[in-house]
Amino acid sequence: MQAIRDMEPTRSGGLPSEGVMFTELALVINIFSSPTDLWERVGQSTTTGQAATSIQPTPLAAVPLSILSSQIDGRQQTVTFTLQNTGTKTITAWEVAIVAGTEPDARYGGYGVDSFRSFAGLSQGGSALVPGSTAVVTAPLPSRSNALNPVVILPRVAIFADTSFIGDDRFAQLIFDGRAAQLAAWRDILHLLEGARNKGIVDSTSLESILAGVNATILRDGPDIVHQTFRANLSQALSNVRTGKEPAASALTRFLDEARQNVAAAAAHSRQ
C-alpha cells in the first residue's frame, strides 16, 4: 500500500505572517497489478473469471457513496467524477478504486481524500461530505492506462466524523495512520512552543530556538509535511519579528493557538 501524494502546502493569500497553509490530505494509490486484490477487497471471488467491467457495486453497497457521473481527460490522464454521500452521517475521509480497461489489460489504482482538518475548521476548500452533499473530484488514472476504456470507479471506504467507518479496513487504517502521524507531529511542535513560552522572555531568540528544534526533528526523523510547513511559517514569522512587523510574543501566541487546535482536531479524529 503506497501513498504517493501527501498533504500539499499552498501559499496563503492572507497576511504576510501567515506564510504557508495546510490543505487536505490526498492519497493517490496505484498498487494493483492484477484484479485479485481488487476482487478480495470488494468481496468477490478470485476464481469467477469476471472482467473488470462486470464488477457490480453490490459488495460495497454498504459504503454510503455513489458515483453520479464521470468524465475522462485522455490528455491529462485524469478522470473527473461526482461523488455523493448517500448516508446519514458526515464523511470526513473516503477512498475509491479506479479500474481502467478490461482483462487482460486492465489497470488498477485508487484515490482518496482526508478532510478532517477542513471539517474541524482548520483549512479552507475542504470536501467533507454532509449527508446528501456532493463533491467533484479530479483524480489521476491508473499508471499505464492510456486509452483503456471503460473506467470504473468503486467506493471502497468512508470514514465518518465520529471516526467510525464502513468499507475496507486496510484503506481505513492507511488514513488513520496518516492522522496519527499528524497528531504526533503537532504534539512535538506544541512541546517546543510551550518550552519557549515557559522560559518567560519571548523574543526573536525564542523563535530561533523553536526553529532549531524543528530542524533537529526533521534531521533526526526525516521530513514530514507538518514540520516542513510549520518551519516555513515560523521562518516567515521570524523575518517579520526581525523587521518589526510583528511582536515575537504575538507570533508565539498565534503558533500556540494553531498547534493546540491541530492537536485537538487530530486527536478527535484519530483512533488511539
CA distance 80 to 15: 33
Cis peptide before 16 (omega within 30 of 0): no
Q: What is the pLDDT of residue 25?
A: 54
Q: What is the pLDDT of residue 155?
A: 95
Q: What is the pLDDT of residue 138?
A: 94
Q: What is the pLDDT of residue 37?
A: 36
Low-confidence spans in the chain with pLDDT less than 70 = 1-61, 272
Q: What is the pLDDT of residue 55?
A: 34
Beta 91-100 vs 151-160: how paired, if at all? antiparallel
Give residue for cell 514540520. Answer: 227
**Measured CA angle at 124 (ends 122, 127), to 5 deg:** 100
Q: Whole-model pTM?
A: 0.78
